[in-house]
Chain A
Amino acid sequence: MTGGPSLRKRLVLGVVSALVLLQVLSCIAVYFLQQRMLYDRFDQSLVASARALLPLIKHDEKKGLHFDFERIPLPEFQAETGSDYFQLWVRDGQIVARSRTLGESELRRPAAIPAADTPAIQELPLPKNQQGRAALLALEVPMKGPPERRGPPASVIMMVARSTAGVEADLGMLAWTLAGTAAGVTLVSALVGWIVVSGGLRPLRRLSEQIATIGSERLNQPLPVQAQPIEVRPVVERLNEMLVRLRAAFERERSFTADVAHELRTPLAGIRSVGEVALADKQEAAEYRRDLEEIVGLAGGMQATVEKLLMLARMDAGQVRLEPMALNLSEVVEVSLEQRRDRLAQRRLRVEHKLPRDLEILADADLLCLILNNILDNACDYADEGGQISIAATSTQSGVKLIVANTGCTLSADQVREALGRFWRGDAARNVGQGHVGLGLSLVERAATILGGRVVATLPKPGVFVIEIELPEAAGKHAGPESPEAPEAQPLVTQP
């Protein structure tokens, strides 16, 4: 299978992306938490160192404010091995003492003086291009000596500084460790995710393989529903329903194709039989003429069948172009009846025609004529000899209802319901209503549907076949039911 989105890739990508995001956020959180912790500890250590140095600040009458370097307890302030720095100022900025680790350098004087006994932390550059942090303590150092000679206390600021290189190195190591772990976990989870998702999608793959085996010859074998995961069952159920509809459609098509072949083969066989028998032996000219006329008649019947099939095919394919126009229904019916006058006379059929003179409908003329012609052909051929055909029309809320009824119907109510089906005939007799192959009423139904209407065939009482066609009406052109000109619609044929 090529192209198209992959559910597996999408799932794995989604899961891995979410995992990566979680990991990144976690790593960031861990890093900053660790950073804060390390620096808190660092700062506390600085403050502790600063406090440890405070007792070494001396203030007496003899030497004034001074720092007792001899007694420094912390080796980190020693010049050779020291890693820490300290510097002592008085408030006016004068440096009182500096650690030997500073050498000739000085620590940057703080911009702000912290409150007494409240350590402050600040970052500052250190010698040898190091970056560091410093703890600041401000305090008052009282002068030692007899009270009468004791001077004011000295306000001093003690700063203890240390390089943060070590902390930064630790944090760097942490960052790499976190990144490496996250990458490893991402890769492993992608692999595991791929395996798990593949396993999870296996039922879909099996379903896909089952669907691939469905062909036109296996439409009657539904897919097993209970064997599918719960999430997929609704899909399989809908698929099975679709298979049922597809099977019915295939059956209809098979049946239709067989019916078409049958209906065309029979007149073809007639043409061939008549022609071959005529050619088999010498006969009189009149006999040849009769045979040729019969062949022409059969060919005409075939032509009518083919044209009906073609019309149905065009209607099914939506290739019929409509040109709606306002048509006077009464006039159209009269024209259709006039075309069948000979047939009506031949079968001695009485026609009752009750259409309002001013009833108009908006319809395509060709389709309307097709509807009327086929219905009237049906009525002319299937009414009993000497029987009656009645045609009436009435306005409805949605449009116009045309009702054509004929006596002499031998169908049952069930058969009447099937009468609109393609190639359906009440009996297979081809002599009754020569040329009827069971397509006329199908054409009527299809044409009415295209015009936005509908057709219903009923048997309101035994022997009376009624076709009702509802079509949209042209706006504002009808006299209306209150008009004295509009006849009361009596669609049913009365028995003679």
Chain B
Amino acid sequence: MRVLVIEDFEPIRRSIARGLEKAGFAVDQASTGEEGLWHAQGNPYDLIILDLMLPGMDGLSLLKKLRANGFQQHVLVLTARDTVEDRVRGLDAGADDYLTKPFAFEELLARVRALIRRRYQEKSPVIEVGPLKIQAAGQRVSVGAAEIELSAREYAMLEYLAMRTGEVVSRTDIWEHVYDFHSAASSNVVDVFIGHLRRKLEAAGAPELIHTVRGRGFRLSVQS
């Protein structure tokens, strides 16, 4: 999943980005409102983490602009201002969640996962597709009783396909949601990782779950 972090305080921005990357997310960073807006409008983020006190265009203005232009990405507002009025203003402007600083990183991560599940209308933190079980909280993947070891990128890709179970997902789509802005990788690398995933699932005894839809992309489902 791809996340945009818009925060001008560098230590927080970098630590959030690092933490999310370790959790398997592709993360882009912006330190000003204008830069954040440019990123948000140009890329299909699964989630935007937005600080309100930004230089130049502040967070609320950015959020209102995004919503006014029809951008529906989930937004988690991150700010030191915690009064009821601040929360109401943020949520009324179009934020999906609100977290005050200082915060526990684990909580931030949990909220990020919840918002991404919501984006894909997944109520449960555990996604099951046939014998395949993906536990997002611990990034654990198993086929039946057998647990499968996946790299961060493999997991991110599988999780994205699982969030859109039954849908045809293009290579570009996968690439845009699994790789960050500065990544040098191209969408071709998606095929490589899909191949890795298929072999690992097969080795664990799973039936064919990742299906190629010629000319369009891939689909994760029990039936082909």
Which A residues contact B (CB, under 8 angstroms)? Answer: 258, 261-262, 265-274, 276-277, 280-281, 294, 297-298, 427-432
Kindly state whether residue B8 has any CB partner on chain A within 8 Å: yes
Which residue of chain B is the closest to A297 with respect to CB atoms? Answer: B11
A273, B81: Cα distance in complex, Å: 17
In the assembled complex, how far is the CB of residue A434 from the closest CB belonging to chain B, in whole angstroms? Answer: 9
**Is the pair A277, B9 in contact by a Cβ cutoff of 8 Å?**
no
Q: Point out the residues of chain A lying under 8 angstroms from B146, CB to CB.
A: none
In contact, B15 and A281 (Cβ under 8 angstroms): no
Determine whether B77 belongs to the interface, using a CB cutoff of 8 Å to chain A.
Answer: no
Whether A270 touches B105, Cβ cut-off 8 Å, given contacts A258-B81, A277-B19, A280-B22, is: no
Partner of A428, one of B16, B19, B53: B53
When distances are taken between beta carbons in the complex, the residues of chain B under 8 Å from A266 are 9, 12, 80, 101
Which residues does chain B contribute within 8 Å of A280, judged by CB atoms?
A: 19, 22, 105
**Which residues of the other chain, B, contact A272 by a CB distance below 8 angstroms?**
102-105
Q: Do A261 and B80 contact each other (CB < 8 Å), given the known contacts A269-B101, A273-B19, A277-B18?
A: yes
Inside 8 A of B215's CB, which chain A residues have their CB?
A: none
Selected contact of A273 from candidates B11, B56, B58, CB within 8 Å: B11
* CB-CB nearest in chain A for B20: A277
Q: Are B9 and A430 touching (Cβ within 8 A)?
A: yes
Q: Is B10 an interface residue (CB 8 A)?
A: yes
* Bound Cα distance A294, B9 (Å): 12
Check if B55 is an interface residue, CB within 8 A of chain A: yes
A262 to B101, CA, bound (A): 9
Minimum CB–CB distance for A304 against chain B, Å: 15
A428–B10 Cα gap in the complex (Å)? 13
- For chain B residues 11-32, which have a beta carbon within 8 Å of chain A? 11-12, 14-16, 18-19, 22, 31-32
CB pair A428–B15 under 8 Å, yes or no, is no
Whether A268 pairs with B102 at a CB distance below 8 angstroms is yes
Choose one: B12, B16, B22; the contact of A281 (CB below 8 Å).
B22
Chain B, Cβ-Cβ closest to A301: B11
7 tightest CB-CB pairs across the interface, nearest first? A269-B101, A270-B11, A273-B15, A429-B55, A265-B80, A276-B105, A269-B102
Q: Residues of A contacting B14 with CB < 8 Å?
A: 274
Beta-carbon contact of B22 and A277 below 8 Å: yes
Residue interface mask B73-99, A partner, CB < 8 A = 1: 000000011010000000000000000
Are B80 and A269 in touch, CB under 8 angstroms?
yes
Q: Choose one: B8, B104, B106; the contact of A429 (CB below 8 Å).
A: B8
5 residue pairs of the A-B complex, CB under 8 angstroms, read: A262-B53, A269-B12, A277-B22, A431-B8, A431-B10
Chain B residue, CB-CB nearest to A263:
B80
User: How many angstroms between the C-alpha atoms of A258 and B58 in the bound complex?
Assistant: 17
Q: Judge if B54 is at the interface, Cβ distance under 8 Å.
A: yes
Contact (Cβ within 8 A) B18 A265: no
Return A162 CB to nearest CB of chain B, in Å: 101
Picked from B19, B56, B100, B101, the residue with its CB within 8 Å of the CB of A427 is B56
In the complex, besides A261-B80, A265-B102, 6 extra interface pairs with C-beta distance below 8 angstroms are A268-B101, A271-B11, A272-B102, A272-B104, A273-B15, A431-B10
A298 to B101, CA, bound (A): 14
Contacts of A281 in B (CB 8 A): 22
In the complex, chain A residues whose CB is within 8 Å of the CB of B105:
272-273, 276-277, 280
User: Measured between alpha carbons, how far is A216 from B220 in the docked complex, in Å?
Assistant: 61
**Known interface pairs A261-B80, A269-B102, A280-B22. Does A274 touch B15 (Cβ–Cβ under 8 Å)?**
yes
Identify which of B19, B55, B80 contacts A276 (C-beta below 8 A). B19
Q: Are B104 and A276 in contact (CB under 8 A)?
A: yes
A315 to chain B, nearest CB (A): 26
